[in-house]
């Protein structure tokens, strides 16, 4: 039976998708063949893989820390929430950052960046193995074994809702930045919380693209603290995608299920030619 965090995130995901479609921002999309399939199947894979990872982590917690089972259950709710949320968000920053720097980890994450557009449907777009190496999923399972199930549900709901928000195709921040007061307010907010403008830049390439920066999941303070924050005032990147053209031209099933599927020979077309 779905939990309330799953219901909230799923309803919001489809609501924003419909909103984007009705607004007309999809009309000029010239997406590569199979891109929609990658988005849809990724979204369907997540509620299958995540519970499996959490169950394994839960069982490991029970096995390795038997005396700690439900040990945190009596903690004040918000203290428990901090214990769940902060390590999740902090560890995601580092696995995300390493995945862009490491030749070994990059194939696990690159599917998220192969979309040629920036919109809500790409929020959960990932290769299946990326879900298995998410520290937050393992941490959540362990925290459930320690008695913090309600805090895990709230943390998951917040992260999921925020993830949908930062991937929306609407460029709300642009107009806010044009206003003198709005500009000052946004600069304060963006030093604390990840926003659509910051994350859009991370997905971008060419002018205004920030492919090697802005790695935060929810709290942008990690980028600020560790020197990877790049502010572009919500400017639209030149284009979206990744530098490896051979990967950009791979079929949808390769992007979803590498390394089970092997790479096909690619043509010489570039992203901009599409």
Task: State the Cα–Cα distance between residues 136 and 96, nearest whole angstrom.
Answer: 12
Q: What pLDDT does 274 receive?
A: 45
In a domain, 16, yes or no: yes
Alpha-carbon torsion, ordered 38, 44, 50, 52, to 10 deg: -120
The residue with tokens 């919109």 is 119
Task: State the Cα–Cα distance between residues 50 and 187, nearest whole angstrom.
Answer: 34
Q: What pLDDT does 252 receive?
A: 95
In a domain, 182, yes or no: no
pLDDT, tens digit, 9 for 90 and up, residues 135-171: 999 999 999 999 999 999 999 999 999 999 999 998 8
Do 127 and 108 form a contact (C-beta atoms < 8 A)?
Answer: yes
Q: What pLDDT does 267 receive?
A: 55
Exposure on the CB side of residue 119, measured as CA atoms within 13 A: 25
In a domain, 223, yes or no: no
In a domain, 243, yes or no: no
Has residue 260 got a pLDDT over 70?
A: yes
Q: Could you list the residue range(s) of the whole structural domain that residue 44 is in? A: 4-20+31-171+251-262
Report helix, strand or coil for 115.
Answer: coil
In a domain, 138, yes or no: yes
Do 137 and 73 form a contact (C-beta atoms < 8 A)?
Answer: no
Query: Taking all residues of the chain, what is their mean pLDDT, rounded to a whole number?
Result: 93
pLDDT band (50, 70, 90) for residue 266 = low
Report the 3 state secondary structure along the chain.
CCCHHHHHHHHHHHHHHHHHHHHCCCCCCCCCCCHHHHHHHHHHHHHHHHHHHHHHHHHHHHHHCHHHCCCCCCCCHHHHHHHHHHHHHHHHHHHHHHHHHCCCCHHHHHHHHCCCCCCHHHCCCCCHHHHHCCHHHHHHHHHHHCCCHHHHHHHHHHHHHHHHHHCCCCCHHHHHHHCHHHHHHHHHHCCCECCHHHHHHHHEECCCCCCCCCCCCCECHHHHHCCCCCCCCCCCCCEECCCCHHHHCCCHHHHHHCCCCCCCCCCCCCHHHC
Report helix, strand or coil for 146.
Answer: coil
In a domain, 102, yes or no: yes
Within 10 angstroms of residue 251's Cβ, the number of other Cβ atoms is 15
Alpha-carbon torsion, ordered 52, 144, 130, 39, to 10 deg: 80
In a domain, 150, yes or no: yes
The mean per-residue pLDDT over the stretch 167-188 comes to 85
Domain count, the chain: 1
pLDDT, tens digit, 9 for 90 and up, residues 87-138: 999 999 999 999 999 999 999 999 999 999 999 999 999 999 999 999 999 9
Question: Which residues touch 235 (CB under 8 Å, ≥6 apart)?
Answer: 174, 197, 201, 208
Beta bridge partners of 205: 239
In a domain, 140, yes or no: yes
The mean per-residue pLDDT over the stretch 201-211 comes to 96
Can you give the length of the chain in residues?
274
Q: What pLDDT does 132 receive?
A: 98
């Amino acid at each position: 039976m779905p939990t309330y965090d799953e219901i909230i995130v799923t309803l919001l995901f489809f609501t924003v998708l419909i909103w984007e479609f009705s607004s007309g921002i999809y009309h000029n999309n010239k997406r590569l063949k199979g891109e929609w399939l990658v988005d849809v199947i990724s979204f369907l894979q997540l509620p299958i893989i995540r519970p499996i990872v959490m169950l394994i982590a839960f069982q490991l917690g029970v096995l390795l820390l038997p005396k700690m089972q439900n040990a945190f259950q009596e903690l004040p709710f918000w203290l428990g929430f901090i214990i769940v949320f902060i390590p999740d968000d902090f560890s995601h920053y580092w696995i995300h950052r390493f995945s862009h720097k490491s030749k070994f980890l990059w194939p696990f994450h690159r599917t998220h960046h192969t979309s040629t557009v920036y919109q809500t449907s790409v929020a959960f777009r990932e290769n299946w193995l990326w879900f298995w190496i998410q520290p937050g999923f393992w941490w959540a399972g362990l925290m459930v074994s320690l008695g913090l199930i309600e805090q895990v549900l709230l943390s998951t709901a917040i992260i999921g809702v925020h993830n949908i928000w930062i991937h929306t195709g609407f460029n709300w921040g642009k107009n806010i930045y044009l206003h003198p007061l709005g500009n000052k307010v946004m600069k304060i907010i963006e030093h604390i919380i990840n926003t659509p403008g910051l994350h859009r830049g991370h997905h971008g390439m060419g002018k205004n693209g920030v492919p090697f920066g802005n790695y935060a999941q929810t709290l942008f303070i990690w980028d600020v603290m560790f020197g990877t924050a790049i502010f572009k005032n919500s400017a639209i990147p030149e284009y979206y995608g990744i530098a490896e053209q051979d990967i950009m031209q791979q079929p949808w099933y390769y992007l979803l299920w590498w390394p089970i599927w092997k790479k096909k020979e690619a043509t010489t077309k570039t992203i901009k030619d599409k």
